[in-house]
């Protein structure tokens, strides 16, 4: 559940949003409190309602992580539940996912300064060379929708790619699918990625969009070009044990297809359909690794509390339809990669602990965990050999 943090990270004070430390950030807790106060009633109303996840232990995990008693999240847990803390020095997608898969990031990521220009001239020159343009646009920190509003019309006029970054270790290139060309954008990102990876920038992200000035919109053809994990991770361990690995959402991109057999993409509604099909059809010993990104991309970064609450309630209902279909020897693990508190300062991720909820292995408290324990536990369940630092809680 991309960005569904539960507060309480012991090192939150070392991470910032617009100069404000993340101390006290709590994605789930603050959403639940806002809902209870009637401040998140757009498209929904009343207290946050997550009965399925709460029965698995979501409210209990929130209390363990941060001490918050969230309205509507007080059920007695019927699953295994705990809270996990990250040790990697980043609150970004690759850091969280790699560590959940058993590999804490072994280096410091490179981040671009919040200045204009944000990028070194040598990098900009290389982008221009590969794109065949005389320049680029933006060259700054910013959110994707704002970049389109500010530079989309000029992009159509000049043909120059829009290059921007964020507080994460990313280099993003936005271009119009029709006037610039989708294939051309993807080729540009693929060719510039090795340069960024040498700098230890985690991801190059292609951000295609369509439309006209005043009505631009991003499409579903985003593609992430991430650094390849330097050591084997959960997906490799499962393959080595003879299991197949299904990547749902952007998992294949995050791991640069390391240990991935099949990819299943789409918006979150489509991903839930993929999950339902794979629950029924994935073979014994297989791993289905999913990332539901819209909590983060549509609502967290945009600081949309009501939208985030709607997404959580939608996901909870979808989960309720999946759980009865698990076989006796299946488990389903719910967790997150970082936080993105929609009530917080700025627009970036927040450093938080994350829930760890397990269906299919009875009920009980797991306590405080490490991110890497998740990968070790899934590997143990599937009979795969784990080579990371995590310990199985199963």
Rounded Cα distance between 14 and 115, Å, is 21
Please report which confidence band the pLDDT of residue 259 belongs to, taking 50, 70 and 90 as the band edges. very high
Full domain range(s) for residue 375: 7-105+230-382
Is 338 annotated as contributing to ligand binding?
yes
pLDDT of residue 143: 86
pLDDT of amino acid 150: 97
Q: Tell which phi-psi region holds residue 123, choosing left (phi > 0), alpha (psi between -120 and 50) or beta.
A: alpha
> pLDDT band at 3, cuts 50/70/90?
very high
Contacts of 341 (CB under 8 A, 6+ apart): 5, 25, 26, 27, 30, 300, 350, 352
**Torsion sign (Cα): 367, 372, 373, 378:** positive
- Shared domain for 96 and 242, answered yes or no, is yes
* pLDDT (0 to 100) of residue 18: 87
Provide the token pair at 349: 């991720």
Question: Is the entire prediction scored with pTM above 0.85?
Answer: yes
DSSP per position, 148-159: HHHHHHHHHHH-
Query: Is the pLDDT at 130 greater than 90, yes or no?
Result: yes
- Point out the domain boundary residue: 188, 203, 226: 226
**324 Cβ partners below 8 Å, 6+ apart?**
none
Q: Tell whether 185 and 293 lie within a shared domain.
A: no
What is the residue-averaged pLDDT of the chain?
97
For 363, how many CA atoms within 13 A lie in the half-sphere containing its CB? 10
Residue 108 DSSP symbol: P
Note the pLDDT tens digit of each residue in 380-393. Answer: 999 999 999 999 99
Same domain assignment for residues 184 and 322: no
Give the end of a domain, one of 203, 226, 249. 226
The model's pLDDT over 146-203, given as tens digits with 9 standing for 90+, comes to 999 999 999 999 999 999 999 889 999 999 999 999 999 999 999 999 999 999 999 9
pLDDT at 4: 98
Q: Give yes or no for a contact between 37 and 13, defined as CB atoms under 8 angstroms apart.
A: no
DSSP letters, 284-328, are TT-EEEE---HIIIIIITTT-HHHHHHHHHHHHHHHHHHGGG--T
User: What pLDDT, in 10s, does the model give residues 218-240?
Assistant: 998 999 999 999 999 999 999 99
Residue 108 labeled ligand binder:
no
Distance CA 344, CA 216 (A): 27
Please name which of 245, 246, 254, 206 lies closest in space to residue 93, comparing C-alpha atoms. Answer: 254
CB atoms within 10 A of CB 41: 13
CATH number where 88 lies: 3.40.720.10
Looking at 198, 226, 254, which one is the last position of a domain? 226
**Structural domain count of the chain:** 2
In a domain, 213, yes or no: yes
337 is in an annotated binding site: yes
328 in a labelled binding site: no
Average of per-residue pLDDT across 319-340: 97
The predicted-structure confidence for 55-85, as pLDDT tens digits, reads as follows 999 999 999 999 999 999 999 999 999 999 9
Per-residue model confidence (pLDDT) at position 167: 82
* Residues 236 and 370 reside in one and the same domain: yes
- Name every residue whose Cβ is closer than 8 Å to that of residue 62 and which is 6 or more positions away in sequence: 6, 7, 26, 28, 29, 68, 70, 73, 83, 355
Do both 265 and 375 map to the same domain? yes
Residue 394 lies inside a defined structural domain of this protein: no
């Amino acid at each position: 559940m991309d960005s569904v943090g539960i507060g309480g990270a012991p090192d939150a004070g070392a991470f910032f949003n617009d100069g404000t430390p993340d101390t006290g950030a709590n994605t789930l807790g603050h959403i639940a409190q806002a809902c209870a106060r009637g401040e998140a009633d757009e498209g929904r109303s009343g207290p946050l309602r997550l009965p399925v996840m709460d029965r698995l232990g979501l409210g209990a995990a929130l209390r363990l992580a941060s001490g918050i008693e969230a309205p509507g999240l007080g059920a007695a847990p019927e699953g295994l539940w705990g809270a996990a803390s990250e040790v990697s020095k980043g609150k970004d997608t690759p850091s969280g996912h790699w560590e959940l898969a058993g590999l804490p990031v072994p280096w410091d990521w490179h981040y671009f300064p919040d200045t204009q220009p944000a990028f070194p001239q040598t990098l900009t020159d290389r982008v221009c060379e590969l794109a065949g343009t005389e320049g680029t646009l933006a060259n700054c920190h910013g959110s994707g929708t704002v970049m389109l509003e500010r530079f989309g019309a000029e992009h159509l006029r000049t043909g120059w790619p829009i290059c921007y970054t964020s507080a994460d270790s990313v280099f993003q290139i936005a271009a119009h699918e029709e006037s610039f060309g989708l294939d051309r954008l993807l080729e540009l990102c693929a060719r510039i990625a090795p340069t960024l990876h040498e700098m230890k920038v985690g991801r190059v992200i292609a951000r295609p969009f369509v439309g006209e000035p005043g009505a631009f919109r991003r499409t579903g053809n985003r593609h992430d070009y991430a650094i390849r994990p330097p050591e084997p991770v959960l997906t490799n361990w499962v393959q080595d044990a003879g299991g197949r690995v299904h990547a749902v959402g952007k998992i294949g991109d995050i791991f640069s297809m390391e240990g991935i057999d099949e990819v299943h993409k789409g918006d979150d509604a489509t991903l839930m359909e993929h999950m339902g099909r794979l629950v029924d059809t994935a073979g014994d010993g297989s791993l289905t690794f999913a990332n539901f990104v819209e909590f983060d991309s549509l609502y967290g970064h945009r600081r949309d509390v009501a939208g985030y609450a709607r997404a959580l309630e939608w996901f909870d209902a979808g989960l309720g339809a999946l759980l009865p279909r698990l076989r006796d020897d299946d488990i389903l693990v719910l967790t997150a990669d970082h936080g993105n508190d929609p009530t917080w300062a700025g627009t970036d991720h927040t450093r938080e602990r994350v829930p760890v909820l397990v269906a299919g292995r009875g009920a009980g408290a797991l306590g405080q965990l490490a991110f890497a324990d998740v990968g070790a536990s899934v590997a143990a369940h599937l009979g795969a050999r784990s080579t990371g630092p995590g310990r199985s809680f199963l």
